[in-house]
Amino acid sequence: MLFRFISPKTSQKIMKTVFWASGILTIIILIIIIGYILLEGMKVINLEFLLSNPVDSGREGGIFPMIISSLYVTLISGLVAAPLGVGAAVYLTEYSREGHVIKLIRFGAETLASIPSIVFGLFGLSFFVVFLGLGWSVLSGGLVLALMALPTIFKVAEVSIDAVPESYREGSLALGSTKWQTVYRVVLPAAAPGITTGIILGMARSISEAAAILFAVGAAITVPISIFDPGRPLPLHLYIMATEGISLENAYGTAAVLVIIVLIITIVTNTLVERYQKKMMGR
C-alpha cells in the first residue's frame, strides 16, 4: 500500500489537495460547457430568433415552431405523467402494506427509469404512431415522454409524501375524516412543494429529450396547431441542425435556449426545495 511509506500527515495533505482539485475540476467542466454554449448562442438569440419561423429549413430565421412543439410535448407529458406518478406514490405510501405487489411496483418504476430512451423511441413508433394510429404528432411525442417522466415524478412524490409526519394523518383521521379526505386535504397539501418539484423534474426530462421522440413527432418545421400535428421540439431541432450541418449559428442559439431552460429549472427546483425544507423545519 502506497500510503504506508508516507506519513499520515503528509497523505492527509496530499489527499485534501486531490479532493479539492476534483471538486473544482467538476465546476470547471460545467463552466466550460455552459459558458461556451451561452457565449456563442447569445450572439444569435434575440426576440426575433425566438419568435420567427425558420427559413430555408433552418439556415435562416428563428425557432418559434420548435418552442411551441417543445411546449406541446412537455405539457402533454406532464398532464399524463403527473396523475399517474402522484397516484402511484399515494397508493404506495398511504394505501398499501409492504408486500410482493409493492416490490413489483417499485421494481417496475426502477426498470422504467433505466430503459434507454431510444427503446422508448421504438416503442413510441410501434405503439402510439402505428398501433394506436396517432401518427407522427406532438401527441405521440408527448405520450412517449410521459412514460419517461413517470418514474421521476413517482419517485420524488413518494419521498415527499413519505416525509409528511404521521401525526398529521392521525389528527385528521381522529376527527372522523375518511382516508381519502385525509390524503386529499392534509397529506397532499403538506407534500405539495415536493410533488411540484417532482413534476418539474419529470417535465425537465421531457423538454430535454430527443432520442425518444425521434420516430414519434415527425420533424415538421411548421407550428403545430392541433395535438395531432407533427412538430420538432428544440432538442430534436438541435440534433438535426448539428448532424446535418445546416446552420452552426442557429444550432448554437437552440443549444443556448436549452441550457437557459435547464438553468431556470435548477434554480426553481432548488428554491422550492429550500422553502419546503424551511417549512418542515419550522414546524
Partner 1 sequence: MNNRLEEYLIEKGLFITAISSIIIILLIITFIFIEGFPAIESYGVLNFVFGSTWAPLKGDFGVLTMIVGTLGITFLALAMAVPLSLLCAIFMAEIAPSSMRRILKPVIETLAGIPSVVYGFFGLIILVPFMREQFGGTGFSMLTASVILTVMILPTIISVTVDSLRSVPYEYKEASLALGSTQWQTIRNVIFPAALPGVITGIILGMGRAIGETLAVIMVAGNVTQFPTSVMDPVRALTSNIALEMGYATGIHYNALFGTAIVLFFMIMILLVAANYLHYKKKVVIGGGYL
Partner 2 sequence: MNRIEVENLNVYFDEAHILKDVNIKIPNNTVTSLIGPSGCGKSTFIRTLNRMNDLISGFRKEGSIFLDGNEIYEPSVDVVELRKKVGMVFQKPNPFPKSIFDNVAYGLKVHGINDKDVVEERVEESLKSAALWEEVKDKLDKSAMGLSGGQQQRLCIARTIAIEPEVILMDEPCSALDPISTTKIEDLIHKLKKEYTIVIVTHNMQQATRVSKYTAFFLHGEIVESGRTEKLFMEPEDKRTEDYITGRFG
Contact partner at residue 84 from partner 2, partner 1, none, CB < 5 to 8 Å by partner kind: partner 1
Cβ at position 16, least distance to partner 2 in Å: 13
Q: Which of residues 163-192 bind partner 1 (CB under 8 A)?
A: 178-180
Which C-beta is closer to partner 1: that of 14 or that of 225? 14
Is residue 260 a contact residue for partner 1 (CB under 8 A)?
no
Q: Which DSSP string corresponds to 179-244?
A: HHHHIIIIIHHHHHHHHHHHHHHHHHHHHT--GGGTTTS----SPP-STTS----HHHHHHHHHHT
Told to check if 27 binds partner 1 by CB under 8 A, we report yes
Q: How near is the Cβ of 6 to partner 2 at its closest, in Å?
A: 10
Map the footprint of partner 2 across residues 3-62, applying CB under 8 A.
4, 7-9
CA angle 270, 272, 278 (to 5 degrees): 100
Does residue 2 belong to the site contacting partner 2 (CB under 8 A)? no
Query: Judged by CB under 8 A, which stretch of 15-23, 52-60, 133-141, 162-170 contacts partner 1?
Result: 15-23
Among 45, 67, 150, 203, the residue binding partner 1 under the rule CB under 8 A is: 150
In the list partner 2, partner 1, none, the entry touching 4 (Cβ below 5 to 8 angstroms by class) is partner 2
Grid cell listed for 49: 430568433
Q: Does 281 bind partner 2 (CB under 8 A)?
A: no
Contact set for partner 1, span 33-72 (CB under 8 A): 33-34, 36-37
DSSP string, 162-180: HTS-HHHHHHHHHTT--HH
**Is 262 an interacting residue with respect to partner 1 (CB under 8 A)?**
yes
Report the alpha-carbon angle 237-243-248, nearest 5: 75
| Closer CB to partner 2, 9 or 283, in the complex | 9
- Binding span for partner 1 by CB under 8 A among 59-67, 164-172, 186-194, 253-261: 253-261
Alpha helices in the chain (DSSP H): 8-42, 47-51, 64-90, 100-114, 117-123, 138-162, 166-174, 179-182, 188-207, 234-243, 248-282
Smallest Cα–Cα separation from 148: which of 43, 88, 78, 94?
78
Binding segment toward partner 1, per CB under 8 A, in 103-111, 188-196, 221-229, 275-283: 103-111
User: Which partner from the list partner 2, partner 1, none does 202 bind, CB cut-off 5 to 8 Å by kind?
Assistant: none
Give the pairing of strands 60-61 and 54-55: antiparallel
Residue closer to partner 2, measured from CB, 7 or 22 = 7
Name which of 5 and 176 has its Cβ closer to partner 2: 5
Q: Is the dihedral of CA 124, 130, 136, 139 positive or negative?
A: negative
**Cβ atoms within 10 Å of 194's Cβ, excluding its own:** 24
Q: Which helix (H) or strand (E) holds 61?
A: strand 60-61
DSSP lists the bridge partners of residue 55 as 60
